[in-house]
Amino acid sequence: MGELFAGGRDSYWIQHHNGVSRSTSGMDAWRELSVPPSSFGFAVAAHPQDPDRAWFVPAVKDEFRYPVDQKLVVTRTRDGGESFEVVSDGLPTEPSWDLVYRHGLDIDSAGERLAMGSTTGGLWVSEDEGASWRALPARLPPIYAVRFA
């Protein structure tokens, strides 16, 4: 089962083995979304004040579990899932095996900074709402969760 992330009153986002969905009815009804380059993945972060904004980290389905085309990217929507932007600025340009688990992506309470950690010990921070990313200069052990205090 995936994680539910509130994006505002009565608004929820979920990403799991069956894809990405959004509810704007307090979870009474869900709309399935097609997210490029893949709706499969684990990590989703919802903006704390704007229910129409969310970030996802896509991956290849169950049997492989690595980034699509071995390219780590973040996909974001700013219009409630009507459109998506794939962001890779500052993320690895070489083939990547970085998988981001459910709790490996977080957004701060202001909705400006995001942090993302991977199963291969990569840690990235974005200070511009996910438009660009900066890697910390060291590889860590596998990262299962990141959180802003």
Give residue limits of the domains in the chain: 3-135
Would the pLDDT of 107 be above 60?
Answer: yes
First to last CA, the chain: 26
Rg (CA), the chain: 14
Would the pLDDT of 3 be above 70?
Answer: no
Q: Where are the beta strands (DSSP E) in 1-149?
A: 3-8, 11-16, 19-23, 31-33, 41-46, 54-58, 74-77, 85-87, 105-107, 114-117, 123-126, 134-135
Would the pLDDT of 64 be above 60?
Answer: yes
pLDDT tens column, 24-52: 998 899 999 999 998 888 899 999 989 99
Q: Is beta strand 3-8 parallel, antiparallel or unpaired with respect to 11-16?
A: antiparallel
Categorize the per-residue pLDDT at 60 as very low, low, confident or very high, splitting at 50, 70 and 90: confident
Q: Which long-range contacts (CB under 8 A, 24 or more apart) does 119-125 make?
A: 119/143, 119/144, 122/72, 122/92, 122/98, 124/90, 124/91
pLDDT recorded at residue 70: 87
Q: Tell the residue number behind the tokens 């060291």, with chain if given.
A: 138
CATH for 3-135 is 2.130.10.10
Whole-prediction pTM value?
Answer: 0.89
pLDDT recorded at residue 11: 87
Query: Residue 104 is which amino acid?
Result: G
